[in-house]
Amino acid sequence: MTTDQEWWRGSVTYQIYPRSFQDDNADGMGDLQGIIRRLPHVADMGVDAIWLSPFFTSPMADMGYDVSDHRDVDPTFGTLADFDALVARAHELGLKVIIDQVLSHSSDRHPFFQESRSSRSNAKADWYVWHDARPEGSPPNNWQSIFGGPAWTWDVRRRQYYFHQFLKEQPDLNFHNPEVQDWALDTLRFWLDRGVDGFRLDAVNHYVHDAELRDNPPDIREKSEPDYKTFEMQYPIHSKNRPENLTFIERVRALTDSYDARTLIGEIGEAHHPVERLQDYTGPGRLHQAYHTALMHKPYGAAFIRSQLEEMFRDGYAGCPNWAFSSHDVPRHVSRWADYAATSEAFAKMTCALLLSLRGSVCLYQGEELGLEQTELDYDELVDPEGKTFYPENPGRDGSRTPMPWTADAPQAGFSEAPTTWLPIKPTQARRAVDRQEGDPESVLSFYKRMIALRRERPALRSGGMRFLDLPPPLLGIRRGDDTLCVFNLDPVAAEAEFSGMGGILASEGVTCDGAHISFAPNGFVIAETGG
């Protein structure tokens, strides 16, 4: 049983991408007042919390993840007064508010970086990661940027290189400097004092780098195809994942614990040993929750999903992973896994039931409750720097970030009164608008509401133990707690199975029961009582 202090354990959080949720000032981009207007939609779903992607002051080189003032709202989104009104309205509706915090780096236009780059002796000179060139002019080491190319950029003002794990416009802060750590904690305190209920910590395992700047070794894992990012050719044991980082995370937890009923969710950006990293970061006195992206990429199937869950909870792990299938950073799962869908609607319902049956907490991404698919965009419609760099092999993240469709037949699907929006709304998205689904008991949206309510009402689904049944693929069977059975047909082909002791059905789609014999339609599933 969770307490009020542990409201986050087994919770369901709804991620809002502010640029794309609702535009209320008709400039083609979403804003905080638009979020306030649409909060009843989120509250009506029955989720516990919202997570807001960055809304801070930013030149938007990386759509807000390049922050130039961590303690203010970008005029694109509104004002601090708007933010305070959003928190108040969310709390009135029974929603907790979690906000992104991008602490590993800043914008290159941040006043701190402008001062830091001005000389080698100013007050902020050691706030970022600077180093001399090698004698022949090359960067200090072999570290690579996630967004392409070397992770070092030469700065003519200081005649030194600076380190950036993402874009060159996102210089890394130097967390070996105690002043930087104190500034980061003060920033968290600023938002905690404004009433937020927690933080989603972006790239939480990236804060601290190797002080000796040792080269990363090559990634020697066998791969089915060549890497297209140089970053993926390395095992980044020195540029991130430093053990010193955990000491700072403990300081973050101590600060958060000085406030009532708050939570920390960490993004573990790690392809090497992700489970171990997540378990490290959610150990005693560290993060309450964390996630990695195992279930947010191409691999799929009963055996794969079971292996990820069993690996996470091996050896009696009692922490709280946070599971998601979609986000602003990856293609929407109904498109990513479309090869396994009988229909997009059936697949959306089945994956909803699966996600909300997992042990741990859950994060839903805006539009997921509508069964939205990935938007196909032409190159000239892209704004994401990753997409522009790696197109067409990787068209970037814009396809999952297109605006939320509210009213199918309205201009811009009810998202905006502007003649154009920052990313286009295509007919494939508009036809799944909220107004087309909210009154239909068979819609994807209606099913999400029922499934969230079932998870909330049934302790076994929210906080019970979990063990897998030995079923042949494509069936995946899970027992939650002592009284709940969940079985999913993950493929677009029919399947059958025998179950003894199954009681009343709690939720189902595409199943036929004949005593202990159950027939599953493609993407069919059942959640039932175990009968005692």
Residue 192 has pLDDT above 50, yes or no: yes
Q: Give the pLDDT band of residue 1 (cuts 50, 70, 90).
A: very low
Examine the residue annotation and report whether 222 is marked as an active-site residue of this protein.
no
CA–CA separation, 500 and 509 (whole Å)? 20
**Residue closest to 71 by CA, chosen among 188, 174, 178:** 188
What type of residue sits at position 38?
A: R
- Give the pLDDT of residue 44: 98
Identified catalytic residue from 48, 108, 270, 398: 270
Residue 2 has pLDDT above 70, yes or no: no
pLDDT tens per residue, range 47-83: 999 999 999 999 999 999 999 999 999 999 999 999 9
Q: What percent of the chain has pLDDT over 70?
A: 99
What is residue 128's DSSP assignment? B
pTM for the whole thing? 0.97
Dihedral of CA 178/250/187/64: which sign? positive
- Give the pLDDT of residue 225: 87
Which are the contacts of 411, defined by CB distance < 8 A and separation ≥ 6? 417
- Give the pLDDT of residue 315: 85
Identified catalytic residue from 197, 202, 491, 509: 202
Examine the residue annotation and report whether 270 is marked as an active-site residue of this protein.
yes
pLDDT tens per residue, range 83-115: 999 999 999 999 999 999 999 999 999 999 999
Does residue 486 contact residue 357 with C-beta atoms inside 8 Å?
A: yes
Residue 293 has pLDDT above 70, yes or no: yes
Q: Give the pLDDT band of residue 3 (cuts 50, 70, 90).
A: low
pLDDT tens per residue, range 440-481: 999 999 999 999 999 999 999 999 999 999 999 999 999 999
198-201 and 484-489 strand pairing: unpaired
Lookup result for tokens 């060549």: 226
